[in-house]
């Protein structure tokens, strides 16, 4: 039986139904969908400038949503054993993501702090965690919480603080159109939450521009 792309349900899991589908993005399906959008808004998808647009958009989505096929915790499996028990802070990690409500980009900076308990992560690994979590349909609030929880759980940190500030194009380019507005979200865990002195210290550093 021949079934068309649009007749097939979107696969989300493997044959066993347990593991998320990995390593596969259905590029032809995205191409067909983008072509449909162009027709729906009244464009001619076959005119010269648009002819290869569906292909480009499909590849772009595969890249922007590449985090769906990554487990961010993987990046924390390699760490250094250090007796350092002071705050580790990494600021100004640039990220971009796609708002899941409008499929429009939001981008900004992530600032992370954690209080290690024997395990210190490589700084590039922290940036990779941010990338894996941002490269999927997201909302900034959830992204902030996910980064904090992954650092707590997989680094065994005594405390974690995460601050994200971002500009959302769904707010600057459409709707209320407020260019220049930024949204700031934070998540604090462990001693960065329960110990007032640690919390004040870490927040002063993370919010200092
Ligand atoms: Zn939005």
CA of 145 to the centre of ligand 1 (A): 18
Which positions ≥6 away from 76 have C-beta within 8 Å? 121, 125, 129, 150, 151, 154, 155
CA dist 141 and 28 (Å) reads 32
Average pLDDT rounded to a whole number, residues 84-94: 93
CA of 161 to the centre of ligand 1 (A): 25
Pairing outcome for strands 183-190 and 159-168: antiparallel
The reply to whether 173 belongs to the active site is no
What's the pTM? 0.85
pLDDT tens digit sequence for 104-144: 999 999 999 999 999 999 989 999 999 999 999 999 999 99
CA of 63 to the centre of ligand 1 (A): 19
Distances in whole angstroms, Cα of residue 197 to Cα of each of 57, 72, 138, 188, 191:
48, 30, 32, 13, 9
Strand partners, 118: none
């Amino acid at each position: 039986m021949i079934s068309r792309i649009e007749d097939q349900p979107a696969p989300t899991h493997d044959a066993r139904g347990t593991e998320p589908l990995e390593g596969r993005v259905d590029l032809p399906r995205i191409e067909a969908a983008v072509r449909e959008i162009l027709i729906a808004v009244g464009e001619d998808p076959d005119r010269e400038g648009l002819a290869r647009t569906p292909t480009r958009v499909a590849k772009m989505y595969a890249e922007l949503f590449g985090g769906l096929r990554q487990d961010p915790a993987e990046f924390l499996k390699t760490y250094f054993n250090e007796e350092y028990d002071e705050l580790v802070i990494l600021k100004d990690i640039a990220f971009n993501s796609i708002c899941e409500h409008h499929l429009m980009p939001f981008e900004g900076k992530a600032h992370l702090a954690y209080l290690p308990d024997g395990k210190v992560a490589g700084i590039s690994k922290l940036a990779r965690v941010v990338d894996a979590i941002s490269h999927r349909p997201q909302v900034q609030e959830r992204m902030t919480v996910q980064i904090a929880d992954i650092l707590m759980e997989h680094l065994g940190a005594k405390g974690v603080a995460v601050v994200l500030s971002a500009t959302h194009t769904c707010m600057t380019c459409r709707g209320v159109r407020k260019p220049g507005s930024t949204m700031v979200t934070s998540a604090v865990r462990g001693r960065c939450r329960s110990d007032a002195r640690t919390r004040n210290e870490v927040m002063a550093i993370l919010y200092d521009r």
